[in-house]
Each structure stands twice: as C-alpha cells, then as structure tokens.
Amino acid sequence: MANTITADDIREHFSQAMSAMYQQEVPQYGTLLELVADVNLAVLENNPLLHEQLVNADELARLNVERHGAIRVGTEQELSTLRRMFAIMGMYPVSYYDLSQAGVPVHSTAFRPIDDAALCRNPFRVFTSLLRLELIESETLREKARQILARRTIFTPRCLELIDLYEREGEFTDAQAREFVQEALETFRWHRHATVDRETYQALHREHRLIADVVCFPGCHINHLTPRTLDIDQVQALMPKYGIEPKVVIEGPPRREVPILLRQTSFKALEEPVRFAGEEQGTHTARFGEIEQRGVALTRKGRELYDRLLAGAGTGKDNLTHQLHLQEVFKAFPDSEMFLRRQGLAWFRYRLTPAGEAHRHAFRPGDDPQPLIERGWVVAQPIIYEDFLPVSAAGIFQSNLGNETQGRSHGNASREAFESALGCPVYDEFTLYEEAENRSKRRCGLL
C-alpha cells in the first residue's frame, strides 16, 4: 500500500504532539525547553570536538527531538493496553524497576525504541509505573481504590478500535495514523475534574500522595516531559534565573570527562486547581519538569561498580557538597574511553574509517580492536544509555512527595507480577546494548 506509515513516523508525530500539549498545560516546560536549547547551543559552540563527535555518531540530529515522559497507571488492564498502544509507535518495555525499595508503592518499566535506526531517528521513551494496590495497608481503602479504578477507562473508544484495527491489519494508513495520535494523546491529557469527592481524595492522599494521583483522575496524565541537555550542571545553575526552582541535588553520577549513564534534575511539582465530585474546589500536586544528561551505557561489570560507589556515597545537603563528594568517590571509576573499553566497563559502537575499509580484508573475527583503533582504522563511539536508574527515579519521585515516604520501605520486587500484568516479559537492557556492540563489530569484520 502506497500510503502506509512506519512506527518511527507515528512515534515522531506522537512525541511532538505530546510536547505541544505539555507546553500548553505547563508553561514552565516551554521555558525549560528554551533554557536547554540555549545551553546545548553554547556547549556545541564552545566545544567543536564534541560537536564533531556527536555528528559522527549520528547523535546530533536527535538531540533536539529527544525527550522522555512519565505516567502512572492503576490496573493490569491499563498497563497491557498501553503496551499494545506503544508497540504501534515502535516502543517496547525495557527493564523492570522496583521503586518499593524506596517507599514508593509502584513498579515500572520504560517503553522505548530498541533498534539502532529507530533510536537514532527519535528515542522517545515513557517511564511507566504501575501502582501496587497490595501495598495499601488499610483493606477498606485498598478495596475502595480498586473499585474506583475498575470503573474508569483511560482510553477513548476510538483509540481502542484503532489499536484492534492495527493488530488485525499490521499497519495504518496516513489518515488512521493521524487519528490514532490524536486519540492516544487523550489518555495523557490533564483533567481538572477528579472522579472522586474530596473526602475520598484525602483518604487516599493520606495513604500516599501517589495513590491519590493515580486513582482519582479519569486518565493517566503525563506528569513530566524531559529534554536532554549536554550540560546539566549549567542548566541547574541557570534554572533560578529563568524563574524555575530546581530540586536540591542532581541525581546520578558526578560530572566527568566521559559522562556515564544518566544525570537528572527536576523542578518542583506545581500546585494545580482541581474540582472534586460534588463541585468542591481543591488542589493537586503532580506535574513537574525534569532535565537529563545522558552518557555511555555500562556493562554489567560497570554497572556493579557504579551501584557500589553510589551506595557508599550518600546524599549531600546541597548540590555543590554532594557533587564534590561524588567526584571523590568516583575517582575509582576510570574516566577515559580507552580505560572504560579496555576494562569492559562500558559499551561501544565500532566503525571502520576509510583507511580501515581499505584494510578490512586483513581483519579476523575475534581480533582485538585496540591496535586497529591506534592505527586509525577503527573508531569506537560510546553507546548512549537509553534507560533509567532506580535510585535516581526514587529521588525524583521523592523530591515531589515531600519527606513523607522516607524510610518507609515496602514490599519485595515483584517482577513476575509486573510482567504478567504487562502481558509479556520486559527486555533486558544489557542484552540490548551487547547486541548493538556486537552488530557493530560484525559490520567491521571483528566478530
């Protein structure tokens, strides 16, 4: 059929539509986008080498379209329908995150593209959390929440029809894709009308603010949308000048020569007017802003080192103290591409240079790339981390929840329950990065 449209196209349209909607809903998000664009431009101007590296690694083109969002859902049915919806956009569940360790009664995955070309075109990701009702202590409240959730449908009827149609046909026409994007967007829109009365809202809110957020509204409103910056320290420092109040510390690893994994910071959730059933007025705090800086993806060995160093580091009282302390602690983490590669701590994508092409016949599967890199025949580019960090995510959740949850550790990881709700296993992030590295080695004749 001539007028079919790809999953990549649909994801691109959808992420643009989502960004436009969120800019209207939360004007501070528009301000944050401007700030991030200004900082990124300045970084690239001052750093021609980084500019060139990003161009060579096909990273520059996606920088300005790159963002992630986050949503929270209440039922298995909602989660599995989201899986079907995101599959149409070429987004698949990667990794299982247990946030209950940090006192947040959810477990999560991230829907994202998984192949090289799709990631390069538009890596839109949605961090998706499922409320764990079983962690509500009061049985009456748990039952009440369950009943409220059972009554709602967070998808429009037409959206559900279109998902069925796509699964039957295996594709959309242009017009169907456009309609699907509009219908899908409705699920993530903010609703000022709560579905419950004030008393119910408050009872759920007292149990946990997040429970009220998930249970009391007719949809699973997007709660933040996060652009990618090339210099998060600079954005954090400039936020107050733009009238935005950042959270106290930047989450994740410290600033380094070779950035690893993911660093994140956010601004506080807004207090927004809502109307409860019975027309009573009130407020609800859920939606906020966040920015991220992404670095190289780590191997299992690298990740173990990261987790160990971070666990021993604690959290400083202000960002400067925290960052200085982290820099001390992370001296134990090699900070050059060569060491990261040689010690098997991070993933790389190998490419032949023109001189390398000319000598390709001399390469054998299993050859050590290092001497070839030194000769200028092969280049190794860091593979960017596309996923999330549970400790950071918990820090982001908590910066918006006050201190009410601290020290309240619940439950055990329940990956099987999550996957059964989702309707499929989640992809393993390490396998995906390893495959990407191996594909690149094979293209060079090194595997």
> Could you list the residues that contact ligand OOG (CB under 6 A)?
70, 72, 127, 129, 223, 264, 290, 388, 392-393, 396-397
Q: State the number of binding residues for Ni ion (CB under 5 A).
A: 3
* Closest separation in Å from C-beta 281 to ligand OOG: 25
* Closest separation in Å from C-beta 361 to Ni ion: 47
392 binds, among ligand OOG, Ni ion, none (CB under 5 to 8 A by kind): ligand OOG
436 binds, among ligand OOG, Ni ion, none (CB under 5 to 8 A by kind): none
According to DSSP, the β-strands at 92-98 and 106-112 are antiparallel
* Closest separation in Å from C-beta 311 to ligand OOG: 18
Which CB atom, from 264 or from 293, has the smaller least distance to ligand OOG?
Answer: 264
How far is CA 51 from its chain centroid?
A: 24
Which CB atom, from 200 or from 223, has the smaller least distance to ligand OOG?
Answer: 223
388 binds, among Ni ion, ligand OOG, none (CB under 5 to 8 A by kind): ligand OOG
* Closest separation in Å from C-beta 438 to ligand OOG: 28
176 binds, among Ni ion, ligand OOG, none (CB under 5 to 8 A by kind): none
Determine the Cα–Cα distance for residues 346 and 294; give it in Å rounded to an integer: 13
Determine the Cα–Cα distance for residues 130 and 82; give it in Å rounded to an integer: 11
Of 400, 381, 433, 398, nearest to 57 by C-alpha is: 381
In this structure, the number of other CB atoms found within 10 A of the CB of residue 398 comes to: 18
Determine the Cα–Cα distance for residues 184 and 85; give it in Å rounded to an integer: 8
* Closest separation in Å from C-beta 225 to Ni ion: 9
Name residues contacting Ni ion, limited to 204-243 (CB under 5 A).
Answer: 226
**b/e map 226-253, b = 16+ CB within 10 Å:** bbbbbbbbbbbebbeeeebebbebbbbb
* Closest separation in Å from C-beta 178 to ligand OOG: 28
Residue 342 to residues 345, 368, 369: CA-CA distances in angstroms?
8, 10, 10
Q: Which residue is nearest to ligand OOG (CB)?
A: 393
Determine the Cα–Cα distance for residues 447 and 433; give it in Å rounded to an integer: 15
**Sign of CA pseudo-dihedral 204, 183, 125, 92:** positive
Which CB atom, from 107 or from 198, has the smaller least distance to ligand OOG?
Answer: 107
Which CB atom, from 221 or from 341, has the smaller least distance to ligand OOG?
Answer: 221
According to DSSP, the β-strands at 125-131 and 67-73 are parallel
Which CB atom, from 78 or from 251, has the smaller least distance to Ni ion?
Answer: 251
Which CB atom, from 252 or from 382, has the smaller least distance to ligand OOG?
Answer: 252
* Closest separation in Å from C-beta 225 to ligand OOG: 10
* Closest separation in Å from C-beta 21 to ligand OOG: 17
Convert residues 67-96 into a mask of x (bound to Ni ion by CB under 5 A) and - (unbound): ---x--------------------------
According to DSSP, the β-strands at 125-131 and 271-275 are unpaired
In this structure, the number of other CB atoms found within 10 A of the CB of residue 347 comes to: 26
393 binds, among ligand OOG, Ni ion, none (CB under 5 to 8 A by kind): ligand OOG
Convert residues 277-316 into a mask of x (bound to Ni ion by CB under 5 A) and - (unbound): -------------x--------------------------
Burial class (CB in 10 A: 0-12, 13-18, 19+), 182: middle
Determine the Cα–Cα distance for residues 319 and 41; give it in Å rounded to an integer: 24
DSSP 180-193: HHHHHHHHT---SB
397 binds, among Ni ion, ligand OOG, none (CB under 5 to 8 A by kind): ligand OOG
133 binds, among ligand OOG, Ni ion, none (CB under 5 to 8 A by kind): none
Amino acid symbol at 83: R
Convert residues 159-188 into a mask of x (bound to Ni ion by CB under 5 A) and - (unbound): ------------------------------
Residue 14 has phi, psi (to 5 degrees) of -65, -45
Determine the Cα–Cα distance for residues 57 and 348; give it in Å rounded to an integer: 11
Which CB atom, from 352 or from 394, has the smaller least distance to Ni ion?
Answer: 394
**Token pair listed for 335:** 């900070």
Which CB atom, from 395 or from 445, has the smaller least distance to Ni ion?
Answer: 395
Residues of this chain that bind Ni ion (CB under 5 A): 70, 226, 290
